[in-house]
Amino acid sequence: MDVKQVFDSLARQEQPPTAVDVNMAIVAGRAMRRRRRAAVAGITAAAVVAAVLVAGVVRPWSGQRDGVAVAVPAAPSVTATPSPTATPSPTATPWPGYKGFAELKKSHPPKGRIAFVPPLLMWVSDAPRENELFLCESGPNGGSCSGFPPLAGKEFARTQGKLRGVGVWFGVARDDVHAVTAVTEDGRRLPADLTRGVGAGLGLWAVEYPSGTEVRGLVVTGARGETLQRIAL
């Protein structure tokens, strides 16, 4: 028997009936779909209940408006370490604009630096005479320069003048001097303003005192508070 005859014989044979019950398969499929729908419905109901419970207990807090969270600006840190390079900018005391100051400075250039010793602007300048200096001062009464010889061996300070109509004595001092104090008639002590290292090894000082006060003398002291000189006025 050839191959064609074999296949023809098989095709004419009746096939055995299927073992699958179609009706039972349909019923089983419907039952499975009903169970799935019930499970989905249960999950949805649970989610709705949870949302209702959460909505019932949530209250707005700081950073919320009407229950909606909003961004709250962060407070500036108070523990941050400042930059080691940051330094405060010092504020310089402005010089008073006394009349004639610029002209006096031009005609008698400073030998060193200009010092603001309230209420005066003062500096040391070269004098035309040998071994002599000028002390120049510019203040509320105008300005002037007056010559003075070098301080003597045991002389640490010297008065150079007194302002007219204003209670101010002023003068020069060696750089060894750390304080000049005025002593009044009734024993009060008034510390002078002193700027050391102005130029030519000298410092400049000025002391103000109330109107009607009599200043009887000056006490000149050193770095340790020791008395270097007493000046009678």
Q: Report d(CA 186, CA 216) in Å as an integer.
A: 9
Nearest to 202, CA basis, from 96, 106, 113, 105: 113
In a domain, residue 156? The reply is yes
Whether residues 47 and 139 fall in one domain: no
As a whole number of angstroms, the distance between CA 145 and CA 161 comes to: 11
Report how many domains make up the chain: 2
Calpha distance 134→153 (Å, rounded): 20
| 226 falls within a domain | yes
Question: What's the domain range around 132?
Answer: 101-232
* Domain co-membership, 45 together with 105: no
CA 193 to chain centre: 29
The single residue listed with the structure tokens 């103000």 is 208
Q: Are 172 and 204 a contacting pair, CB within 8 Å? A: yes
- Same-domain status, 105 and 49: no
Q: Which residues pair with 172 in a beta bridge?
A: 158, 204
| Pair 45, 121 in one domain | no
Let me know if residue 106 belongs to a domain.
Answer: yes
pLDDT in tens, the chain (233 residues): 554 554 455 445 555 554 445 455 455 556 666 666 655 455 444 444 444 333 443 333 333 333 322 222 333 333 333 333 344 444 455 667 899 999 999 999 999 999 999 999 999 999 988 889 999 999 999 999 999 999 998 999 999 999 988 999 999 999 999 999 999 999 999 999 999 999 999 999 999 999 999 999 999 999 999 999 999 99
Residue type for position 9 = S
